[in-house]
Chain A
Amino acid sequence: MNANIVVMIVTLLVWLGVFLYLLSLDRKVRKLDRGHEN
């Protein structure tokens, strides 16, 4: 397989991981905020 395509797939997987991690962190912080308000 073309090296550029391999690097592209790896970069996309890293980006997907970073995005999902930030989304989960966002949800946890929202829960913390709600808990703090209550």
Chain B
Amino acid sequence: MVWKILLFLVMTAVIIGAFVTASPMNPAISVGSPDAYRIFYFHVPQAWVASLSFLVAMYYSIRYLQTRRMAFDIRAAAANRLGLFFAVIATVTGSIFAKMTWGEFWNWSEIREVSIFLLMVIYGAYFALRSAVADPDKRASLSAVTSILFAMAAIFLIFVLPRMYAEFSQHPSDSVVDEEGQITMGRTVALIFFSSLAAFTALYVWMYRLTIRVDETGHNRTLEGD
């Protein structure tokens, strides 16, 4: 319970800090209102948690293929569900930022917006596949293989593709680290940002544990019903 109270306090402090301190963007080089850049404190941690969740799903999918234990399939599916959930939230916050700075909610020539759209489509296909296969063992095996492939595709879409076609990106570059790996933020911005990153990661862990417990209870009841 202590860590939940700590999470509540840290996230509350992050929200207050994000709005009462100066904008993380220098007004002299800001595109649109500098206040729009405050969403950076929430948008980037949401995208980070989504990426983390897809990697967790890949890990448990590999474990399932090694052991054929259904508990690993439940954990992989739960991670993919939460990954997709945070990807959608990151897309919504990104669209709000896009509207306030670039004037449009969506731009098909923005490489990061296109890549997150493709990511959501492939994970939508993952859940369509899961719902289409009735046999639990076959469903788990197919899901594990696609989950591993999709996680690799996610790494490519999130980290590689936007850097390969940087000329098609309007995103602020060097927002966290520069090309030499140095943190480019001031101390206050870094404190709020990394606190937000920690709080979103803790929130994800909490949500993930809850999802697994609910799914495992449902799975056990189904077995008892059989």
Contacts and interface: CB of A to CB of B under 8 A. Distances in A.
A25 B213 CA distance: 11
B214 interface: yes
Nearest to B42: A11
Interface in B193-224: 206-207, 210, 213-214, 217, 220
26 contacts: A4-B35, A4-B38, A5-B19, A7-B19, A8-B15, A8-B16, A8-B18, A8-B20, A11-B15, A11-B19, A12-B12, A15-B12, A15-B15, A19-B8, A22-B206, A22-B207, A22-B210, A25-B210, A26-B206, A26-B210, A29-B210, A29-B213, A29-B214, A33-B217, A36-B217, A36-B220
B98 interface: no
B148 interface: no
Nearest to A2: B19
A32 B18 CA distance: 38
B22 to A, nearest CB: 11
Contacts of B210: 22, 25-26, 29
A32 B217 contact: yes
Contacts of A1: none
A24 to B, nearest CB: 11
Main secondary structure of the interface of B (DSSP, over half): helix
B46 to A, nearest CB: 13
Contacts of A8: 15-16, 18-20
Interface of A: 3-5, 7-8, 11-12, 15, 19, 22-23, 25-26, 29, 32-33, 36
Contacts of B25: none
A5 B8 CA distance: 19
Closest 9 CB pairs of A and B: A8-B19, A4-B19, A29-B213, A11-B15, A32-B217, A19-B8, A12-B15, A25-B210, A15-B11
B4 interface: yes
Contacts of A19: 8, 11
A7 to B, nearest CB: 6
Given A4-B38, A5-B19, A29-B210, 15 more contacts: A3-B35, A4-B20, A7-B19, A8-B20, A11-B15, A12-B15, A12-B16, A19-B11, A22-B206, A25-B210, A29-B214, A29-B217, A32-B213, A32-B217, A36-B217
Contacts of A12: 12, 15-16
